[in-house]
């Protein structure tokens, strides 16, 4: 945390934290570069997204939403959320997708989109349909509902870290004593929507925003909200979940160029087409350090150039010098070193061994 400018106790940013590229090296290894950074992103976010770690809980469609009770699992939970925001900013800066299934509802509040009642139609359609009926009720009907500006249902209880108890929540100061009427029902619905999306996780969102804010000040976030929907933002940050083999193959270059016409390369793409999504992601990670392609497709894979600014680096299949050996890779350059093989069966066997044992990083290629 400290190396990325995050206070490990409070989750706040340390003085002097500025936006800059991140270079990752592992202790005892001399190599560095973009591939190691992508692999590190994957390792760290995988740990933070683990349900047993307690920072996140599963939302709809296997996406992750901050756990309102995260402090009970990790005493330094806010530092973790600030670190995750910092990583999200770094990933966007380097144009490298994160393999982290953020829920759209979390991204909506984390990136500061305006919370209106109608937003619930997207994130909580059943709740939206039920509450929308309040807008058509007469004054007498609302009075019989006995509603006030307080939420005391189970779904709205907020965890109190200090006392380790749950409590009902006022939607505004003095809300427990203010009834919902025709005059203020729209305000009630807007505040309820804010509470539903943000209330129980506001400290976590605030910490995430602090980390994100190193790279994305409010002016930039405002422009981002103007030009991107939440779905587009999710794609930009997390990449494409599906791996389009045609796009992958069509964006690949070969070294030497004539290697494209070899039997080994033909067998490779046949094998990729027959892989499951998980296996394709494993191969992509093996060669690039990322399990997902960029939102804009394989033609825009980013790689190492020795410069501070991100640089496009096409996926490259290189003929290895010695035939019959295990495939290796230089993740910093998105390069797969593929030896020639005598048969399709031999390629499949050696590729499977390489992916299983994850022996893909070629330090010599990076240091050259």
Active site residues: 332
Q: Which two tokens stand for residue 22?
A: 């991140």
Q: How far is CA 96 from the centre of its chain?
A: 10
DSSP 8-state secondary structure symbol assigned to residue 170: E
User: Based on C-alpha coordinates, what's the Rg of the chain?
Assistant: 25
355: closest CA among 270, 298, 233, 271?
Answer: 271
DSSP 8-state secondary structure symbol assigned to residue 361: B
Helix (H) or strand (E) segment spanning residue 34: helix 34-49
76 phi and psi, to 5 degrees?
-100, 35
| Rounded distance between C-alpha atoms, residue 209 and residue 34, angstroms | 25
Q: Which two tokens stand for residue 51?
A: 């349900």
Give CA separation, 175 vs 88, 132, 138, 159, 169, in Å.
Answer: 36, 20, 21, 19, 9
Is residue 196 within 8 Å of residue 120, measured between CB atoms? yes
| Rounded distance between C-alpha atoms, residue 48 and residue 51, angstroms | 8
Is residue 291 within 8 Å of residue 281, measured between CB atoms? yes
Is residue 10 within 8 Å of residue 80, measured between CB atoms? no
Q: Which two tokens stand for residue 320?
A: 């290895």
DSSP 314-338: --EEEE-SSTTSPPEEEGGGTEEEE
| Rounded distance between C-alpha atoms, residue 171 and residue 148, angstroms | 9
Neighbours of 153 (CB within 10 A): 8
């Amino acid at each position: 945390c400290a190396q990325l400018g995050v206070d490990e106790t409070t989750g706040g940013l340390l003085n002097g934290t500025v936006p800059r590229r991140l270079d990752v090296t592992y202790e005892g290894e001399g190599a560095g570069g973009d591939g190691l950074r992508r692999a590190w992103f994957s390792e760290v976010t995988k740990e933070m997204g683990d349900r047993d770690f307690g920072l996140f809980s599963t939302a709809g469609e296997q996406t992750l939403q901050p756990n309102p009770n995260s402090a009970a699992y990790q005493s330094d939970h806010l530092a973790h959320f600030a670190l995750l925001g910092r990583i999200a900013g770094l990933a966007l800066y380097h144009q490298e997708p994160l393999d982290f299934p953020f829920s759209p509802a979390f991204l909506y509040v984390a990136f500061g989109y305006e919370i209106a009642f109608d937003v619930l139609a997207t994130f909580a359609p059943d709740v939206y349909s039920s509450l929308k009926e309040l807008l058509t009720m007469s004054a007498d009907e609302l009075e019989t509902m006995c509603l006030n500006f307080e939420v005391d249902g189970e779904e709205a209880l907020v965890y109190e870290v200090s006392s380790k108890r749950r409590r009902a929540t006022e939607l505004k100061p003095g809300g427990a004593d203010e009834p919902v009427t025709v005059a203020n029902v729209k305000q009630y619905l807007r505040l309820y929507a804010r509470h539903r999306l943000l209330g129980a996780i506001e400290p976590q969102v605030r910490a995430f925003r602090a980390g994100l804010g190193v790279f994305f000040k409010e002016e930039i976030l405002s422009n981002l909200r103007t030009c991107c929907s939440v779905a587009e933002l999710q794609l930009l940050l997390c990449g494409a979940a599906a791996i389009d083999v045609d796009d992958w193959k069509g964006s690949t270059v070969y070294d030497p160029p004539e290697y494209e016409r070899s039997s080994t390369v033909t067998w490779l793409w046949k094998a990729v087409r027959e892989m499951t999504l998980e296996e394709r992601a494993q191969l992509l990670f093996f060669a690039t350090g990322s399990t997902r392609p960029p939102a804009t497709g394989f033609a825009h894979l980013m790689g190492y150039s020795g410069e501070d600014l991100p640089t496009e680096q096409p996926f490259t299949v290189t003929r290895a010098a010695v035939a019959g050996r295990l495939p290796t890779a230089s993740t910093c350059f998105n390069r797969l070193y593929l030896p020639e093989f005598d048969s399709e069966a031999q390629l499949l066997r050696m590729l499977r061994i390489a992916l299983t044992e994850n022996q893909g990083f070629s330090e010599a290629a990076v240091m050259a």
